[in-house]
C-alpha cells in the first residue's frame, strides 16, 4: 500500500495522519503529526486465541523516547529503562477507553504500541497517541468497535479550552482528560481546584463535542484505507455444561449472593463453585486437557450466575448484596495519631475497606526528580499507594508497585494536591503513604480520606479537607434501565458497568476518574452520579472532621522545623564555599542540619531542634554579613603584628586594629595590652576601596581628661 496522508484542522492546530510507509508489517500503523508532536501507533493481533485464559489479553504501551525532547537518559546505561510513572499512567489511560470496545469472548492477544518520536509540549503527545492507537486498530483487520478519541480540557478565566497549551494550563482550574466514542464517553481522568459538579459536567460535555470531530475524522480515514476485518472465533462456554451447572446450582448461588458479610458470602459461593466444578470433573473425557477446560467453564458459569444475580437484584429490586440502600454509605470510622514517631498518621475505615495513611515532611531538596517527556522536572508532593495481598485475605507478590497501584496513587495525589499550601507558605517536601489494611471496594478513595487526616495531623495547613467516594452503575442494555450506586463494594465493582470515583471538598471537586465496561455513559447518568457523590462526600467529611476538625498548629516533635532567611544572591558562593567546603562545615557543626538555597537567595534551614537551626542561621548570617562604617563589634584577636592586631568581627571578616587605635594612651608593644583570643570592643572607622576594614578600640573609650579639666574638677 502506498503512503497516504490525511489532514484535519483541530482547535487551531493541524493533525496529519500518515499510513502506508512506516511499520508496514504491523496489522495497523499510523504516524500522527500534531503540531510538532510526532507519534507512531501500531496494532498487532495473534491469529489464534490464547489458551487457558479467562480474560482479554490486551497490552497497551506508551514508549517514551527521551530523544523526542532532546534529552539523554540518566543512569549508568544512558538508555531508556523501565517505563516512567507518566508512561505507565498514559498507557493505562489509552487502554481504558479501548478495552470495552472489543467483543465479549475475544481471546486473541492484541498489542498496541505507541512510540513518541517528537514532542511539542503544547500539542499533547498523550492525546496524539490515544488517537493513533484507536486509528491503528480501526484501519487494521483486527475486529474493533471503535473509533475512540480523547481530548484534554482546561478552563481559563471561565472559558473551556480543548487541548490547552502548557501556559494555559498554569492558569486553568480544571485539568480534565476525557475519552469516548462519537456516541458517549467511556473514560475520565481529572483534577480540579474545587470545581462545582455543574461546571465539571459542562467540561465533560464540551470534551465530548471535540471527541465527535476526531471520531468523524477517523471514520473518513478508515473508509479510504481500512482493511477488511478478519474472522475471530470468540470464546463461549459449552451449552451442555452451562445447562447442567445451572440446573443444579443456580438457585443456591443466587441465594448466597444475598449473604451480607463479605467473607461468609464469598466462602459460600466458593463452596458451591467447587461443588459444581467437582460434578463436571467426574464425567468422562477424552483427555485431561478436555477435563480441565470443562472444569474451568463450570467455574466461569458459576461466576456468571453470581454476576447476573447481583445485577438483577440491583436493577429490578434495588437491593444490594449487603442489604444497603442505593445511596447508603457503609459504616465509617476515622482515627488519628496511631503511630507515635511518624510526622502524621491516620486510619480511615469504610465498611470492610481500611487504609492507614502516614505523612512525612522533608526538606525541599528531598523532592522527587522526574525524568520523562513532560515539562515537570521535580515533584514536591508524593502520594504513594500500596495494596498488599493480605488486605483481601490472599497470598501474592510483594515488591514494586504495579500499574494499578501507580494509577491509584496518582489519583489520590491529584485529589490532595489541589488543597496543599504553596512552597512559600509551607516550604516542605511532603509524602503521604497509603497502606491498604483491608479492602472491599474503593480503597483508592479511602486513601484520600486517610491522607487528608494524616496531613492535618502532621500540621500541614491544607486549604480544605478532601474526601473521596466511588460510585457504581448497573445497566441493562436491553431495557435501558440502570441504577447508580453510592460506595460500591468489591462485588458491585467486579460485576458492575462503571467505577466512577469522585473526590473533593465541601466546596467542589478536586479529582475525578471513571472506567466503564459498557460502550459509554450519557449526560443524565453523569449528572445523577455526581449528585449522589456530592451527598456522600459531605457525609464522609462530617465523620473525618469529628475526629480532627482542622490542621494541627504545631508540627510533630519528630518533624523537621524550619527557618527562612534571604541573602544577597552574590553571597551564595561564599556560603557554599570552594567545593562546598563552607556549607559542609556548617552542616557538620550543626548536627547534620539540612540547608536549601535557591538562586534568588532564599535560604531554608531544617532540623528537629530550633537551637540548632538558629546556630546554622547565625553562621550563614556571619558569612554574608557586610561590615559598615560605624558598626560596633565584640571582636576576637586572631593575629598580632608590630603595627597592630587583626581582629575577627564575624564569620570570615577581619579588621585591622592599628596600634595607635588601641587606646588613648601610647602603646609601645601590642603584646603589652593584647594577646591571642582576647575579646575587645571595636568600631569600624574605615573601609577602603579594596574592602579592607580598619577598626578602632579607642573610639569607644572615654577620652582622658586634660590637665585643665583635672584642675577645674
Give tens-digit pLDDT for 441-493: 889 999 999 999 999 999 999 999 999 999 988 887 777 788 899 999 888 88
Contact 79, 173 (CB under 8 A): no
Residue 712 is predicted with a pLDDT of 61
Question: Above 60 in pLDDT, residue 335?
Answer: yes
pTM: 0.82
Q: How far apart are CA 488 and CA 499, in angstroms?
A: 8
Q: How confident is the model at residue 707 (pLDDT cuts 50, 70, 90)?
A: low
The mean pLDDT of 636-648, rounded to a whole number, is 93
User: Could you report the per-residue pLDDT of 507-537, keeping only the tens digit for each?
Assistant: 999 999 988 777 667 788 889 999 999 999 9
- The residues, any chain, with a CB within 8 Å of residue 135's CB and separated by 6 or more, are 17, 28, 30, 32, 41, 147, 218, 221, 222
Closest CA to 179 of 169, 170, 190, 168: 190
515 is in an annotated binding site: no
Q: How far apart are CA 447 and CA 111, in angstroms?
A: 32
Minimum mean pLDDT range among 1-5, 373-377, 662-666 = 373-377
Question: Above 80 in pLDDT, residue 262?
Answer: no
User: Could you report the per-residue pLDDT of 548-592, keeping only the tens digit for each?
Assistant: 999 999 999 899 888 889 988 988 998 998 999 999 999 999 999
Domains of the chain: 4-225 (3.30.230.70), 239-317 (1.10.10), 332-547 (3.30.230.70), 561-624 (3.30.1370.10), 631-700 (2.40.50.140)
Question: Above 70 in pLDDT, residue 1?
Answer: no
Residue 521 is predicted with a pLDDT of 75
Please give the sequence-ordered ranges of beta strands (E in DSSP) within 244-401, or none if there are none: 332-336, 344-350, 353-362, 368-369, 378-379, 381-386
User: Could you report the per-residue pLDDT of 272-289, keeping only the tens digit for each?
Assistant: 999 999 999 988 888 888
User: Could you report the per-residue pLDDT of 351-375, keeping only the tens digit for each?
Assistant: 999 999 999 999 888 888 777 778 7
Q: At what angle do helices 197-225 and 125-139 cross, to 10 degrees?
A: 40
Q: Does residue 571 have a cis peptide bond before it, meaning omega lies within 30 degrees of 0?
A: no
Residue 446 is predicted with a pLDDT of 96
* φ and ψ of 358, to 5 deg: -125, 145
* φ and ψ of 194, to 5 deg: 55, 60
- Cα 229 to Cα 140, 144, 145, 518, 694, distances in angstroms: 7, 9, 11, 22, 92
Contact 504, 536 (CB under 8 A): no
Residue 162 is predicted with a pLDDT of 95
Per the document, the length of the chain is 713
* φ and ψ of 629, to 5 deg: -60, 130
Which three cell numbers mark 325? Answer: 440502600
User: Could you report the per-residue pLDDT of 399-414, keeping only the tens digit for each?
Assistant: 888 888 999 999 999 9
Residue 189, SS3 per DSSP: strand
The mean pLDDT of 233-258, rounded to a whole number, is 90
Residue pointed to by grid coordinates 523532592: 367
Which three cell numbers mark 314? Answer: 440491583
Q: How confident is the model at residue 41 (pLDDT cuts 50, 70, 90)?
A: very high
- Cα 235 to Cα 293, 433, 484, 647, distances in angstroms: 12, 41, 30, 91
Q: How confident is the model at residue 124 (pLDDT cuts 50, 70, 90)?
A: very high
Q: Which helix (H) or strand (E) holds 644?
A: strand 644-650
Q: How confident is the model at residue 348 (pLDDT cuts 50, 70, 90)?
A: very high
27 is in an annotated binding site: no
Q: How far apart are CA 326 and CA 315, in angstroms?
A: 10
Q: How confident is the model at residue 708 (pLDDT cuts 50, 70, 90)?
A: low
Closest CA to 487 of 687, 279, 272, 329: 329
User: Could you report the per-residue pLDDT of 174-231, keeping only the tens digit for each?
Assistant: 999 999 999 989 899 999 999 999 999 999 999 999 999 999 999 999 999 999 999 9
The whole-chain average pLDDT of the chain stands at 91
Question: Above 60 in pLDDT, residue 713?
Answer: no
Residue 710 is predicted with a pLDDT of 58
Report strand pairing: 353-362 vs 344-350: antiparallel
Minimum mean pLDDT range among 125-134, 315-324, 353-362 = 315-324
The mean pLDDT of 249-272, rounded to a whole number, is 87
Amino acid at each position: 500500500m502506498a503512503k497516504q496522508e490525511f489532514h484535519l484542522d483541530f482547535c487551531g492546530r493541524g493533525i496529519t495522519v500518515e499510513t502506508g510507509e512506516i511499520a508496514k508489517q504491523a496489522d495497523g500503523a499510523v504516524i500522527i503529526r500534531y503540531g510538532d508532536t510526532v507519534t507512531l501507533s501500531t496494532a498487532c493481533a495473534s491469529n489464534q486465541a490464547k489458551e487457558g485464559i479467562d480474560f482479554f489479553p490486551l497490552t497497551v504501551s506508551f514508549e517514551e523516547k527521551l530523544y523526542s525532547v532532546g534529552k539523554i537518559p540518566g543512569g549508568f546505561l544512558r538508555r531508556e529503562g523501565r517505563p516512567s510513572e507518566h508512561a505507565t499512567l498514559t498507557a493505562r489511560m489509552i487502554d481504558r477507553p479501548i478495552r470495552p470496545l472489543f467483543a465479549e469472548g475475544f481471546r486473541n492477544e492484541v498489542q498496541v504500541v505507541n512510540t513518541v518520536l517528537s514532542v511539542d509540549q503544547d500539542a499533547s503527545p498523550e492525546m496524539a497517541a490515544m488517537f493513533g492507537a484507536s486509528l491503528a486498530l480501526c484501519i487494521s483487520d483486527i475486529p474493533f468497535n471503535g473509533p475512540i478519541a480523547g481530548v484534554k480540557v482546561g478552563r481559563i478565566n471561565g472559558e473551556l479550552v480543548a487541548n490547552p497549551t502548557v501556559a494555559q494550563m498554569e492558569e486553568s482550574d480544571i485539568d480534565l482528560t476525557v475519552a469516548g466514542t462519537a456516541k458517549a464517553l467511556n473514560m475520565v481522568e481529572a483534577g480540579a481546584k474545587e470545581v462545582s459538579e455543574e461546571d465539571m459536567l459542562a467540561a465533560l460535555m464540551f470534551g465530548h463535542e471535540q471527541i465527535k470531530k476526531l471520531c468523524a475524522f477517523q471514520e473518513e480515514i478508515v473508509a479510504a484505507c481500512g482493511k477488511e476485518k478478519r474472522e475471530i472465533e470468540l470464546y463461549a462456554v459449552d451449552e451442555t455444561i452451562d445447562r447442567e451447572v445451572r440446573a443444579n446450582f443456580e438457585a443456591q448461588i443466587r441465594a448466597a449472593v444475598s449473604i451480607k458479610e463479605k467473607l461468609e458470602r464469598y466462602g459460600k459461593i466458593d463452596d458451591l463453585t467447587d461443588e459444581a466444578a467437582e460434578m463436571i470433573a467426574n464425567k468422562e473425557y477424552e483427555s485431561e486437557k478436555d477435563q480441565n477446560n470443562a472444569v474451568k467453564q463450570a467455574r466461569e458459569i458459576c461466576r456468571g450466575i453470581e454476576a447476573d444475580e447481583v445485577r438483577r437484584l440491583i436493577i429490578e429490586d434495588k437491593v444490594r448484596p449487603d442489604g444497603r440502600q442505593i445511596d447508603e454509605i457503609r459504616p465509617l470510622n476515622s482515627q488519628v495519631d496511631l503511630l507515635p514517631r511518624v510526622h502524621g498518621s491516620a486510619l480511615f475505615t469504610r465498611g470492610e475497606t481500611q487504609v492507614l495513611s502516614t505523612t512525612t515532611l522533608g526538606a525541599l531538596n528531598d523532592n522527587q526528580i522526574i525524568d520523562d517527556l513532560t515539562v515537570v522536572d521535580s515533584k514536591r508532593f508524593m502520594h504513594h499507594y500500596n495494596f498488599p495481598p493480605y488486605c483481601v485475605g490472599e497470598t501474592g507478590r510483594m515488591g514494586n508497585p504495579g500499574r494499578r497501584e501507580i494509577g491509584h496513587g496518582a489519583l489520590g495525589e491529584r485529589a490532595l494536591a489541589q488543597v496543599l499550601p504553596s512552597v512559600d507558605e509551607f516550604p516542605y517536601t511532603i509524602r503521604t503513604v497509603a497502606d491498604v489494611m483491608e479492602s472491599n471496594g474503593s480503597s483508592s478513595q479511602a486513601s484520600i480520606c486517610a491522607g487528608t487526616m494524616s496531613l492535618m495531623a502532621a500540621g500541614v495547613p491544607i486549604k480544605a479537607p478532601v474526601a473521596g467516594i466511588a460510585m457504581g452503575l448497573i445497566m441493562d442494555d436491553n431495557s435501558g434501565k440502570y441504577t447508580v450506586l453510592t460506595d460500591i463494594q468489591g462485588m458491585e465493582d467486579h460485576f458492575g458497568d462503571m467505577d466512577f470515583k469522585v473526590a473533593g471538598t465541601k466546596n467542589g471537586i478536586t479529582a475525578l476518574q471513571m472506567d466503564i465496561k459498557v460502550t459509554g455513559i450519557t449526560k443524565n447518568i453523569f449528572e445523577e452520579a455526581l449528585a449522589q457523590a456530592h451527598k456522600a462526600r459531605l457525609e464522609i467529611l462530617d465523620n473525618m472532621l469529628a475526629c480532627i476538625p482542622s490542621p494541627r498548629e504545631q508540627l510533630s516533635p519528630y518533624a523537621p522545623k524550619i527557618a527562612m532567611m534571604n541573602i544577597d544572591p552574590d553571597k551564595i558562593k561564599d556560603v557554599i564555599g570552594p567545593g562546598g567546603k563552607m556549607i559542609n562545615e556548617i552542616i557538620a557543626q550543626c548536627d547534620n542540619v539540612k540547608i536549601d538555597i535557591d538562586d534568588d537567595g532564599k535560604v531554608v534551614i531544617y532540623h528537629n531542634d530550633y537551637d540548632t537551626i538558629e546556630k546554622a542561621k547565625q553562621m550563614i548570617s556571619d558569612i554574608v554579613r557586610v561590615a559598615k562604617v560605624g558598626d560596633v563589634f565584640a571582636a576576637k584577636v586572631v593575629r598580632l603584628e608590630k603595627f597592630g592586631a587583626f581582629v575577627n568581627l564575624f564569620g570570615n571578616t577581619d579588621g585591622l586594629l592599628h596600634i595607635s587605635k588601641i587606646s588613648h594612651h601610647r602603646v609601645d608593644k601590642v603584646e603589652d595590652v593584647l594577646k591571642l583570643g582576647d575579646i575587645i570592643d571595636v568600631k569600624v572607622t574605615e573601609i577602603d576601596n579594596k574592602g579592607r576594614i580598619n577598626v578602632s578600640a579607642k573610639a569607644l573609650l572615654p577620652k582622658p581628661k586634660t590637665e585643665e579639666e583635672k584642675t577645674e574638677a
